[in-house]
Amino acid sequence: MNIDVLEERALDFALAATVSGYPSSTFHAKLAAVLDVKPASWAEPLLTRSATREGLAELQSHFLSHFEMGSARLPLHETEYGRTGGLSKGNDLADLAGFYRAYSLELSQDEGSHELYDHLAVELEFYSSLLARQALLTEAGRDEGVAVVEDTRRSFLKDHLGRLALALQAHANLAADSVWAVALAETVRLVLAECEALGVTPAPLDAMASAEPDDVQCAVNFNPAGGKAAH
Protein backbone atom coordinates (compact mmCIF):
# COMPACT_ATOMS: atom_id res chain seq x y z
CA MET A 1 0.00 0.00 0.00
CA ASN A 2 1.54 3.30 -1.06
CA ILE A 3 1.77 6.45 1.05
CA ASP A 4 -1.19 8.24 -0.57
CA VAL A 5 -3.49 5.27 0.00
CA LEU A 6 -2.36 4.88 3.61
CA GLU A 7 -2.96 8.57 4.32
CA GLU A 8 -6.37 8.42 2.65
CA ARG A 9 -7.37 5.40 4.72
CA ALA A 10 -6.11 7.09 7.88
CA LEU A 11 -8.49 9.97 7.18
CA ASP A 12 -11.34 7.55 6.49
CA PHE A 13 -10.83 5.95 9.89
CA ALA A 14 -10.41 9.33 11.60
CA LEU A 15 -13.79 10.37 10.21
CA ALA A 16 -15.36 7.10 11.33
CA ALA A 17 -13.89 7.58 14.81
CA THR A 18 -15.27 11.11 15.00
CA VAL A 19 -18.83 10.08 14.16
CA SER A 20 -18.73 7.00 16.40
CA GLY A 21 -18.26 8.88 19.65
CA TYR A 22 -20.80 10.79 21.73
CA PRO A 23 -21.50 14.19 20.12
CA SER A 24 -20.14 16.47 22.82
CA SER A 25 -19.91 20.25 22.62
CA THR A 26 -16.79 19.96 20.45
CA PHE A 27 -18.34 17.47 18.02
CA HIS A 28 -19.26 20.01 15.33
CA ALA A 29 -15.80 21.59 15.25
CA LYS A 30 -14.03 18.24 15.13
CA LEU A 31 -16.29 16.90 12.40
CA ALA A 32 -15.92 20.08 10.36
CA ALA A 33 -12.13 19.83 10.58
CA VAL A 34 -12.11 16.24 9.32
CA LEU A 35 -14.63 16.89 6.54
CA ASP A 36 -12.57 19.87 5.41
CA VAL A 37 -9.78 17.50 4.38
CA LYS A 38 -11.90 14.38 3.79
CA PRO A 39 -15.33 15.27 2.37
CA ALA A 40 -18.04 12.65 2.81
CA SER A 41 -21.63 13.35 1.79
CA TRP A 42 -23.04 10.80 4.24
CA ALA A 43 -21.59 12.77 7.20
CA GLU A 44 -22.94 16.15 6.10
CA PRO A 45 -26.31 15.70 7.91
CA LEU A 46 -24.42 15.22 11.18
CA LEU A 47 -22.42 18.38 10.51
CA THR A 48 -25.54 20.39 9.66
CA ARG A 49 -27.56 19.22 12.66
CA SER A 50 -24.74 19.75 15.13
CA ALA A 51 -24.31 23.38 14.03
CA THR A 52 -27.06 24.61 16.38
CA ARG A 53 -27.59 24.03 20.08
CA GLU A 54 -31.00 22.49 19.45
CA GLY A 55 -29.72 20.24 16.70
CA LEU A 56 -26.79 19.04 18.79
CA ALA A 57 -29.10 18.30 21.73
CA GLU A 58 -31.28 16.20 19.45
CA LEU A 59 -28.25 14.29 18.15
CA GLN A 60 -27.11 13.67 21.71
CA SER A 61 -30.53 12.38 22.73
CA HIS A 62 -30.72 10.03 19.74
CA PHE A 63 -27.16 8.81 20.29
CA LEU A 64 -27.96 7.89 23.90
CA SER A 65 -31.20 6.13 22.99
CA HIS A 66 -29.57 4.25 20.12
CA PHE A 67 -26.33 3.19 21.77
CA GLU A 68 -26.25 3.81 25.51
CA MET A 69 -29.63 3.38 27.19
CA GLY A 70 -32.39 0.78 27.37
CA SER A 71 -32.72 -2.89 26.55
CA ALA A 72 -33.03 -2.17 22.81
CA ARG A 73 -29.78 -0.20 22.62
CA LEU A 74 -26.98 -1.21 20.25
CA PRO A 75 -23.80 -1.12 22.38
CA LEU A 76 -20.67 0.29 20.78
CA HIS A 77 -18.40 -1.50 23.26
CA GLU A 78 -16.66 -4.65 22.05
CA THR A 79 -16.94 -6.44 25.40
CA GLU A 80 -20.74 -6.18 25.32
CA TYR A 81 -20.76 -8.94 22.71
CA GLY A 82 -20.03 -12.63 22.83
CA ARG A 83 -18.82 -12.78 26.41
CA THR A 84 -20.22 -12.96 29.91
CA GLY A 85 -18.09 -10.21 31.47
CA GLY A 86 -16.02 -10.71 34.61
CA LEU A 87 -12.49 -11.98 34.09
CA SER A 88 -12.95 -12.35 30.34
CA LYS A 89 -13.91 -8.71 30.00
CA GLY A 90 -10.93 -7.66 32.10
CA ASN A 91 -8.62 -9.69 29.90
CA ASP A 92 -10.06 -8.14 26.75
CA LEU A 93 -9.63 -4.63 28.10
CA ALA A 94 -6.07 -5.45 29.18
CA ASP A 95 -5.29 -6.77 25.70
CA LEU A 96 -6.60 -3.56 24.13
CA ALA A 97 -4.55 -1.49 26.55
CA GLY A 98 -1.52 -3.52 25.52
CA PHE A 99 -2.04 -2.62 21.86
CA TYR A 100 -2.33 1.07 22.68
CA ARG A 101 0.61 1.21 25.05
CA ALA A 102 2.83 -0.68 22.62
CA TYR A 103 2.59 2.42 20.45
CA SER A 104 3.07 4.84 23.36
CA LEU A 105 -0.47 6.15 23.04
CA GLU A 106 -1.46 7.74 26.32
CA LEU A 107 -5.02 8.07 27.54
CA SER A 108 -6.36 11.60 27.62
CA GLN A 109 -6.99 13.15 31.00
CA ASP A 110 -9.23 15.87 29.58
CA GLU A 111 -12.40 16.58 31.49
CA GLY A 112 -15.44 15.00 29.85
CA SER A 113 -13.58 12.18 28.05
CA HIS A 114 -15.74 9.17 28.76
CA GLU A 115 -14.98 6.40 26.31
CA LEU A 116 -13.58 3.05 27.38
CA TYR A 117 -10.75 1.07 25.83
CA ASP A 118 -13.18 -1.12 23.89
CA HIS A 119 -15.44 1.62 22.49
CA LEU A 120 -15.79 1.68 18.72
CA ALA A 121 -14.57 5.28 18.49
CA VAL A 122 -11.40 4.51 20.45
CA GLU A 123 -10.59 1.40 18.41
CA LEU A 124 -11.15 3.33 15.17
CA GLU A 125 -8.92 6.16 16.35
CA PHE A 126 -6.15 3.70 17.18
CA TYR A 127 -6.44 2.06 13.78
CA SER A 128 -6.30 5.46 12.08
CA SER A 129 -3.08 6.18 13.98
CA LEU A 130 -1.59 2.89 12.76
CA LEU A 131 -2.30 3.81 9.13
CA ALA A 132 -0.78 7.26 9.59
CA ARG A 133 2.27 5.76 11.28
CA GLN A 134 2.76 3.24 8.49
CA ALA A 135 2.60 6.07 5.95
CA LEU A 136 5.37 7.94 7.79
CA LEU A 137 7.52 4.82 8.06
CA THR A 138 6.98 4.04 4.38
CA GLU A 139 8.04 7.56 3.42
CA ALA A 140 11.15 7.19 5.58
CA GLY A 141 12.03 3.86 3.97
CA ARG A 142 11.91 1.97 7.27
CA ASP A 143 10.80 -1.41 5.97
CA GLU A 144 11.11 -3.22 9.29
CA GLY A 145 8.87 -0.67 11.02
CA VAL A 146 6.37 -0.89 8.18
CA ALA A 147 6.18 -4.67 8.61
CA VAL A 148 5.63 -4.33 12.37
CA VAL A 149 2.80 -1.83 11.99
CA GLU A 150 1.12 -3.81 9.23
CA ASP A 151 1.25 -6.92 11.39
CA THR A 152 -0.32 -4.93 14.23
CA ARG A 153 -3.09 -3.79 11.91
CA ARG A 154 -3.91 -7.38 11.01
CA SER A 155 -3.84 -8.52 14.63
CA PHE A 156 -5.99 -5.63 15.83
CA LEU A 157 -8.59 -6.23 13.13
CA LYS A 158 -8.64 -9.97 13.81
CA ASP A 159 -8.80 -9.77 17.60
CA HIS A 160 -10.79 -6.59 18.17
CA LEU A 161 -11.99 -4.04 15.60
CA GLY A 162 -13.04 -6.51 12.92
CA ARG A 163 -14.94 -8.60 15.48
CA LEU A 164 -16.75 -5.53 16.79
CA ALA A 165 -17.73 -4.50 13.25
CA LEU A 166 -19.20 -7.96 12.61
CA ALA A 167 -21.15 -7.81 15.87
CA LEU A 168 -22.55 -4.39 15.06
CA GLN A 169 -23.52 -5.55 11.60
CA ALA A 170 -25.31 -8.58 13.04
CA HIS A 171 -27.20 -6.73 15.78
CA ALA A 172 -27.92 -3.36 14.17
CA ASN A 173 -31.62 -2.53 14.31
CA LEU A 174 -31.61 1.25 13.93
CA ALA A 175 -34.24 3.00 11.85
CA ALA A 176 -32.99 3.29 8.29
CA ASP A 177 -33.60 7.04 8.20
CA SER A 178 -31.49 7.74 11.31
CA VAL A 179 -28.32 9.72 10.66
CA TRP A 180 -26.62 7.45 13.18
CA ALA A 181 -27.71 4.36 11.22
CA VAL A 182 -26.04 5.79 8.11
CA ALA A 183 -22.86 6.65 10.02
CA LEU A 184 -22.72 3.20 11.59
CA ALA A 185 -23.29 1.45 8.26
CA GLU A 186 -20.47 3.44 6.63
CA THR A 187 -18.18 2.66 9.55
CA VAL A 188 -18.90 -1.07 9.49
CA ARG A 189 -18.40 -1.12 5.72
CA LEU A 190 -15.04 0.62 6.10
CA VAL A 191 -13.76 -1.83 8.73
CA LEU A 192 -14.92 -4.94 6.89
CA ALA A 193 -13.39 -3.66 3.64
CA GLU A 194 -10.11 -3.23 5.52
CA CYS A 195 -10.34 -6.81 6.79
CA GLU A 196 -10.85 -8.04 3.25
CA ALA A 197 -7.97 -5.96 1.91
CA LEU A 198 -5.58 -7.44 4.49
CA GLY A 199 -6.93 -10.98 4.24
CA VAL A 200 -8.20 -10.95 7.83
CA THR A 201 -11.12 -13.11 8.93
CA PRO A 202 -12.25 -12.06 12.43
CA ALA A 203 -14.01 -14.63 14.57
CA PRO A 204 -17.57 -13.43 15.14
CA LEU A 205 -18.77 -12.09 18.46
CA ASP A 206 -22.15 -13.70 17.91
CA ALA A 207 -24.04 -12.83 21.09
CA MET A 208 -24.74 -9.72 23.11
CA ALA A 209 -23.36 -10.25 26.59
CA SER A 210 -25.40 -7.75 28.57
CA ALA A 211 -28.10 -5.15 28.19
CA GLU A 212 -26.97 -3.29 31.29
CA PRO A 213 -24.87 -0.12 31.02
CA ASP A 214 -21.21 -0.55 31.87
CA ASP A 215 -19.89 1.44 34.82
CA VAL A 216 -16.22 0.56 34.48
CA GLN A 217 -14.27 3.82 34.34
CA CYS A 218 -11.00 2.96 32.70
CA ALA A 219 -10.33 4.90 29.55
CA VAL A 220 -10.91 7.85 27.35
CA ASN A 221 -9.63 9.27 24.08
CA PHE A 222 -6.05 9.31 22.94
CA ASN A 223 -3.56 12.10 23.18
CA PRO A 224 -2.11 11.87 19.65
CA ALA A 225 1.02 13.69 20.73
CA GLY A 226 2.03 10.75 22.85
CA GLY A 227 2.74 8.33 20.02
CA LYS A 228 6.10 7.14 18.79
CA ALA A 229 6.91 5.38 15.55
CA ALA A 230 7.48 1.66 15.59
CA HIS A 231 11.05 0.45 15.17
pLDDT confidence bin for 102, thresholds 50/70/90: very high
pLDDT confidence bin for 112, thresholds 50/70/90: low
Is residue 106 pLDDT above 90, yes or no?
no
CB count within 10 Å of CB 15 equals 25
Q: What is the pTM of this model?
A: 0.86
231, part of any domain: no
Rounded to an integer, the average pLDDT of 8-28 is 97
Name the strand (E) or helix (H) holding 46: helix 44-49
pLDDT one-digit tens code per residue, 120-164? 999 999 999 999 999 999 999 999 999 999 999 999 999 999 999
How many domains, the chain? 1
83, part of any domain: yes
Is residue 209 pLDDT above 60, yes or no?
no
- The reported pLDDT for the residue numbered 215 is 39
Supply the CATH number for residue 189's domain.
1.10.3480.10
Task: Count helices and strands (H / E) in the chain.
Answer: 9, 2
Phi-psi region of 85 (alpha: psi -120 to 50; beta: other; left: phi over 0): left
Range of the domain at 48: 3-226
21, part of any domain: yes
57: Cβ contacts below 8 Å, ≥ 6 apart: none
Is residue 221 pLDDT above 80, yes or no?
no
| DSSP reduced 3-state for 35 | helix
pLDDT one-digit tens code per residue, 36-88? 999 999 999 999 999 999 999 999 999 999 999 887 789 999 998 876 555 67
| DSSP reduced 3-state for 1 | coil
Cα separation, 19 vs 184, in Å, equals 8
215, part of any domain: yes
121, part of any domain: yes
**CB 220 within 8 Å of CB 109:** yes
CA 198 to the chain's CA centroid = 18
174: Cβ contacts below 8 Å, ≥ 6 apart: 66, 74, 180, 181, 184
